[in-house]
Amino acid sequence: MKKKIVFLTGTRADYGKIKSLIRIVEESEKFEAFIFATGMHMLSRYGSTYKEIIKDGYQSIYTYINQSGQMSMDIILSNTILGFGNYIAELKPDAIIVHGDRLEALAGAIVGAFNNIKVFHIEGGEISGTIDESIRHAITKFAHYHLVSNEKAKKRIIQLGEPEENIFVFGSPDIDVMLSDDLPSIEQVKEYYEIPYEQYGIFMYHPVTTEIDALPDKIGQVVDGLIESGQKYVVIFPNNDHGTDVIIKELERLKGNPNFRIIPSMRFEFFLTLLKQADFIIGNSSSGIREACVYGIPAIDIGTRQNGRYRKEDNEHILHTVENAEEIVLAINKAEKLELKPSSDFGKGNSAEIFNNIIHDSNIWERQIQKQFVEVGF
């Protein structure tokens, strides 16, 4: 009998990163792939991106609305646990795959752990900043297997008391997609999203939930800086964390300005092509930290959201600045002068191959599900 593996996805970003892994399972004779789509995928404001998952032609997709309006994160978490728990009770899978540091992933890990189902966590052991970091490490403690991006992440998970034999360095699966020959052309991307610019920057700025009171002033300064720079930008909506409405309201100032093309959501492959051809990416998205370096694209990191996630001396493609219009303009001018070579500390583009080897290892399925804290340095 085939083993059932459920992939939980809540955002356009995590879906793009696990697509190659879903295909591996879908094409296997030993496994069945199931997709639980929720979160931002189900919101019309962000383009109802669950439709893109359906278009990709998978056999088994379940959609679940876990929020409406501007709900608090704890309510969304509880809704997701309820919906995913009911789904798992009916399906009875052998494993659950979750990614990153979103609350939907935390819900998946909790449901899996409470129901004695093996949980595989992708990209644990990283520093996220804000509440996301707490969520990521909490997922690590519920998960049974850890598929990490690099040796640094592995060391952090060992520090969290996880056994080394359950940690696998397999890179970041989005690198598989980034280095593939299957990306759309820049002409296709510009036509599909009606982007008229030859040269442009990409702007993505998410709320920092622990600095919510300062958000109106900060995003105001950021938008001022973008306007004052005189550059052209493709603007992509923020995630749906608390404070998103404040950012989107501020972005309304850009409507009608010919230097700005605002897009609620973008398919992952299309975003990668857009990034590959961009002059720079600016904001506080992890794309500036993780993906930009793979293509040798300058990244301007604004504010505190990515604090601790990189060291300046190891990431020459990143310029850090604060939410101040003048400082942002200066950073943009510096970024345009940078000449960079592609580099990456997140794998070589073979994550799907490594993942395939992991799930086909019989030892993975035979190990006891009971976890025990492994002390370090005692």
pLDDT at 103: 96
pLDDT at 348: 84
* Residue 234 contacts residue 263 (beta carbons within 8 Å): yes
Report the distance separating Cα 193 and Cα 212, nearest Å: 31
Supply 101's token pair: 């540091």
Residues in the chain where the model's pLDDT stays below 50: none
* Angle ∠(62,65,66) on CA atoms, nearest 5: 120
- Tell me the backbone φ, ψ of residue 274, rounded to 5 degrees: -60, -40
Q: What does pTM read for this prediction?
A: 0.89
pLDDT at 63: 98
Task: Give the chain's largest Cα–Cα span.
Answer: 62
Report the distance separating Cα 50 and Cα 37, nearest Å: 7
* Residue 87 contacts residue 62 (beta carbons within 8 Å): yes
* Residue 321 contacts residue 222 (beta carbons within 8 Å): no
| CA end-to-end distance (rounded Å), the chain | 44
Q: What's the distance, CA 34 to chain centroid? A: 20
User: Which domains can be identified in the chain, with CATH numbers?
Assistant: 3-178+349-366 (3.40.50.2000), 186-335 (3.40.50.2000)
- Tell me the backbone φ, ψ of residue 190, rounded to 5 degrees: -65, -35
